[in-house]
């Protein structure tokens, strides 16, 4: 009987070519020769795992790393790595690693699995549950080792959405470059603790190609010292700000009324205290309930109107594109004005 080591490489490639992702991973466990062959094979020769979503979690409380790989039908594979027992659990099998750092094991596994991912993910999700771990724990090194692995391999993850939850800006900056900016459409940046919203300066993040190329931003963080020009290219915006000036609001109004791609923007403020200044710029508002509203015609369009609402109880501004029929009765629509 021919052994694996004596089997021609072309035959082995054919076997892999006719196998699915799960079968190849199983074959990889058959013997060291097959494992080496699979690991050395070009990505293009491997079957597409066709994952829709990947979630990567480091958990302080459980002292674990979790990798979830979700298919389009929401079935998924979960791999758990425990630093306490220095082990990996996949389905019903647990393997102990006496001489390996469990973070390194998780990263090696992820690197291997990503070789099979050819299609674009719906999203890649990173959750880092508290970076303030014990000094003898290596779990907190996960985002930085991930960054090093991707930088060394030259690989980026093709995903339409990037999602991160963390309480540490450095962790966010470590993993953001992992997303391929050419496929990225939506950025989701969230605080780990919903009750204590994290404050952040976006000075480094806005310089990335991921930020510049994305079409939508959902930022559940309180953004400090924001330059309003850095969000004006998005078609959809949801962001928390300490406040905003009337001049910046007017800049957004002019930008959005000139845009063919803008859809809506939600600016959640702690306080807004330039009511007089905005009235001087936009004229008297149409009052409806607890909100002030303004309506502006869009550039080169008779079918679209920019509606701006300011809710003075909840302290938010909302911009959206509506049709002329959606303008409240009694309200006037101001003509488009480049100045």
Instruction: Give me the DSSP letters along 177-237.
Output: GGB-TTT--EEEEEES-TTSPPEEE-TTGGGSHHHHH-SEEEEEEEEES--GGGTTT-SEE
CA separation (Å) from 307 to 161, 170, 241, 319?
28, 37, 20, 6
- Predicted local confidence at residue 2, as pLDDT: 47
Mean pLDDT, range 310-320, rounded to an integer: 97
Task: Calculate what percentage of the chain has a pLDDT beyond 90.
Answer: 64
pLDDT digits (tens, 9 = 90+) for 195-248: 677 889 999 999 999 999 999 999 999 999 999 999 999 999 999 999 999 999
Task: Calculate what percentage of the chain has a pLDDT beyond 70.
Answer: 84
pLDDT digits (tens, 9 = 90+) for 160-194: 999 999 988 899 999 999 999 999 999 999 988 76
- Predicted local confidence at residue 133, as pLDDT: 45
Answer yes or no: are the C-beta atoms of 87 and 125 closer than 8 Å.
no
pLDDT digits (tens, 9 = 90+) for 262-287: 999 999 999 999 999 999 999 999 99
Cα–Cα nearest to 80, from 71, 69, 122, 72:
69
Going by pLDDT thresholds of 50, 70 and 90, the confidence category of residue 1 is: very low
pTM over the 0.85 mark: yes
- Predicted local confidence at residue 175, as pLDDT: 95
pLDDT digits (tens, 9 = 90+) for 19-34: 666 666 666 666 666 6
336 or 271, greater pLDDT: 271
DSSP string, 133-171: --TT--GGGHHHHHHHHHHHHT--B-EEEEEEEES-HHH
Q: Nearest 5°: phi and psi at 128?
A: -115, 100
Classify the phi-psi angles of 74: left when phi > 0, otherwise alpha if psi is within -120 to 50, otherwise beta.
left
Give burial (CB, 10 Å; 0-12/13-18/19+) of 54.
buried
Q: What is the mean pLDDT of the chain?
A: 88
Provide the residue ranges of all domains of the chain, joining segments of one domain with +. Answer: 1-43, 48-225, 249-339
Cα–Cα nearest to 56, from 8, 134, 121:
121
């Amino acid at each position: 009987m021919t052994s694996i080591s004596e089997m021609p490489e072309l035959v082995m490639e054919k076997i892999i070519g006719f196998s699915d992702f799960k079968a190849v991973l199983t074959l990889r466990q058959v013997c060291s020769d097959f494992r080496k062959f699979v690991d050395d094979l070009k990505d293009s020769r491997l079957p597409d795992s066709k994952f829709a979503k990947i979630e990567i979690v480091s958990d302080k409380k459980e002292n674990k790393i979790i990798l979830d790989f979700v298919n389009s039908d929401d079935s998924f594979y979960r791999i758990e790595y425990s630093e306490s027992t220095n082990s990996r659990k996949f389905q019903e099998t647990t393997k102990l690693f006496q001489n390996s750092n469990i973070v390194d094991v998780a990263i090696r596994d992820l690197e291997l699995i990503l070789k099979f991912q050819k299609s674009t993910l719906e999203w890649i999700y990173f959750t880092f549950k508290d970076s303030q771990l014990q000094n003898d724990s290596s779990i907190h090194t996960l985002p930085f080792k991930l960054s090093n692995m991707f930088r060394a391999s030259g690989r980026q993850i093709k995903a339409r959405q990037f999602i991160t939850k963390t309480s540490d800006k450095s962790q966010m900056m470590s993993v953001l470059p992992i997303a391929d900016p050419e496929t990225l459409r939506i950025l989701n940046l969230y605080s780990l603790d919903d009750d204590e919203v994290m404050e952040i300066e976006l000075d480094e993040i806005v310089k990335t190609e991921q930020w510049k190329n994305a079409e939508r931003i959902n930022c559940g963080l309180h953004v400090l010292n924001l330059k309003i020009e850095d969000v004006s290219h998005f078609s959809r915006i949801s962001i928390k700000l300490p406040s905003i000036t009337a001049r910046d609001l007017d800049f957004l109004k002019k930008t959005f009324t000139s845009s063919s791609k803008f859809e809506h923007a939600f600016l959640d403020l702690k306080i807004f205290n330039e009511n007089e200044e905005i009235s001087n710029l936009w004229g008297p508002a149409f009052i409806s309930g607890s909100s002030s509203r303004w309506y502006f015609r869009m550039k080169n369009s008779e079918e679209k109107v920019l509606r701006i609402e300011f809710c003075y109880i909840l302290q938010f501004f909302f911009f959206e594109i509506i049709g002329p029929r959606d303008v409240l009765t009694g309200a006037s629509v101001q003509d488009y004005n480049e100045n």
